[in-house]
Amino acid sequence: MKKYIFGVVGLAFGVLTVWLLFRKTNWEEVGHALSGANYFLLALSLFAYFLAHPARVIRWGYIVRAVHPATFRQMFSATQIGFLANFVLPGRAGEAVRALVLTRLTRVPFSKAFAFVAVDRLTDLFGLIVVMVVSLLAFQPVGGVSIPAETFGTDGPIGFTQSEYRAGAIGAGVFLAVLIAGFVGLYTNRGVVLWISTKVFGLFSKRVADFVNGMINHFADGLQVFRSPSDMAKSIGWSWVTWGLNLVGLAIGMAAFHIDFPWYTPVVMQAILAVFISAPNTPGFVGQFHIPIVLALVMTVPGVDINTAKAYAIAAHLSQLPPVFMLGIWCLMRDNLNLFELQKEGVEKVKEEKSE
């Protein structure tokens, strides 16, 4: 029942976002922008997205191989099938599917495989933190932010004053700084972090403090899979490579649509994308992927043609699909696996883990 609820919520969110962004779109102008794009550059952006996939596997290898032997091929299959599951299945099923495929291929216990996925998401967060920090430092709009009326077909522009934006940016910066300090503290001295957590969250209730401390211990245990600070640094380094390749893909794609953008536009775009993608996923991330791209363009490129921005959002989304579907389906066929059977078994495994 739960997966159907996730599916309905994701579908509803997708319909809402598509309607909101495209309800008053001039499709003739969007078509002109698509036909006038430089498709050689679009192919280069697609190549950058393809390269990001093996980079993720290399990053994950520093986590998995610290505990259990695994080949690049096995980790690649698990990663790509998990990505495919996230695109076509509701409820972020890809995380459980990724762990289950690794279990099937390497015989590592599912509990460990699922922990490997969680730690990989944690190292991925270090890359995202850099993207967010650079975005906040580089994009300092003078006079505030204005979203033109034609963006969402509203009666007038949607605006944020400079003080409102600055307050949000400072709040986000403080949150990221605390997050970084917390991760460093977890790896170097868990006891200090738990003491601070108990003091802070104990002000609310002991139950809240115990819950937070349990989460802290979970993350700390995950970080300890690294055999050395060097392995952890390499994993985080490959996280930066992965995010960097995505930024390169976004930048080349914008150049393909002849958009004259400042250097920080891809960074802002990636930061907003990360926020939107963290919400319940729509089928294929339709709408959920397009709105952040258009928002980033109208925020950072004053006077950008809104139809060109929407055309680029469509092309950028379509550029993400070939790596995910081609590689995911190839891995399923190569390892003789069924995605829907993996989803069902993965959900059952996660339930078993939670009940223990």
pLDDT tens, position by position, 268-285 = 999 888 888 876 667 778
Q: Does the structure show a pLDDT above 60 at 17?
A: yes
Structural domain total, the chain: 1
Is residue 47 assigned to a domain? yes
Residues 6+ apart with CB under 8 A from 34: 311, 314, 315
215 is a domain residue? no
Report the percent of the chain where pLDDT is more than 70: 87
Classify residue 191: in a domain, yes or no: no
Q: What is the pLDDT of residue 192?
A: 83
Mean pLDDT of 327-334: 93
pLDDT at residue number 354: 52
Predicted local confidence at residue 332, as pLDDT:
93
Does 223 map to a domain?
Answer: no
Mean pLDDT of the chain: 83
Contacts of 154 (CB under 8 A, 6+ apart): none
348 occurs within a structural domain = yes
Whether the per-residue pLDDT at 307 is higher than 80: the answer is yes
Least confident of 143-147, 279-283, 352-356: 352-356
Write down the pLDDT at residue 308.
93
Residues 6+ apart with CB under 8 A from 96: 114, 343, 346, 347, 349, 350
Measured from the Cβ of residue 100, the count of other Cβ atoms closer than 10 Å reads 29
The answer to whether 101 and 337 are in contact (CB under 8 A) is yes
Range of the domain at 97: 2-141+246-355
pLDDT digits (tens, 9 = 90+) for 215-257: 777 666 666 666 677 777 888 899 999 999 999 999 999 999 9
Q: For residue 320, is it within any domain?
A: yes
Predicted local distance difference test score (pLDDT) of residue 133:
83
Dist. CA 56–CA 59, nearest whole Å: 5
Residues 45 and 252: beta-carbon distance below 8 Å:
yes
In a domain, 307, yes or no: yes
Q: What is the pTM of this model?
A: 0.84
Of the pLDDT bands very low, low, confident and very high (cuts 50, 70, 90), residue 43 is very high
3-state secondary structure the chain: CHHHHHHHHHHHHHHHHHHHHHCCCCHHHHHHHHHCCCHHHHHHHHHHHHHHHHHHHHHHHHHHCCCCCCCHHHHHHHHHHHHHHHHHCCCCHHHHHHHHHHHHHHCCCHHHHHHHHHHHHHHHHHHHHHHHHHHHHHCCCCCCEEECHHHHCCCCCEEECHHHHHHHHHHHHHHHHHHHHHHHHHHHCHHHHHHHHHHHHCCCCHHHHHHHHHHHHHHHHHHCCCCCHHHHHHHHHHHHHHHHHHHHHHHHHHHHCCCCCCCCHHHHHHHHHHHHHCCCCCHHHCCCCHHHHHHHHHHHCCCCCHHHHHHHHHHHHHHHHHHHHHHHHHHHHHCCCCHHHHHHHHHHHHHHHHHC
| pLDDT tens digits, 132-144 | 888 888 888 877 7
The pLDDT tens digits for 181-215 are: 777 777 777 788 888 888 888 888 888 788 777 77
pLDDT tier, 4 (very low <50, low <70, confident <90, very high otherwise)? low
Asked if residue 334 has pLDDT above 90, the reply is: yes
77-111: pLDDT as tens digits: 999 999 898 888 776 778 889 989 999 999 888 87
Per-residue confidence at 157, pLDDT binned at 50, 70, 90? confident
239 close to 124: Cβ distance less than 8 angstroms: yes
In a domain, 218, yes or no: no
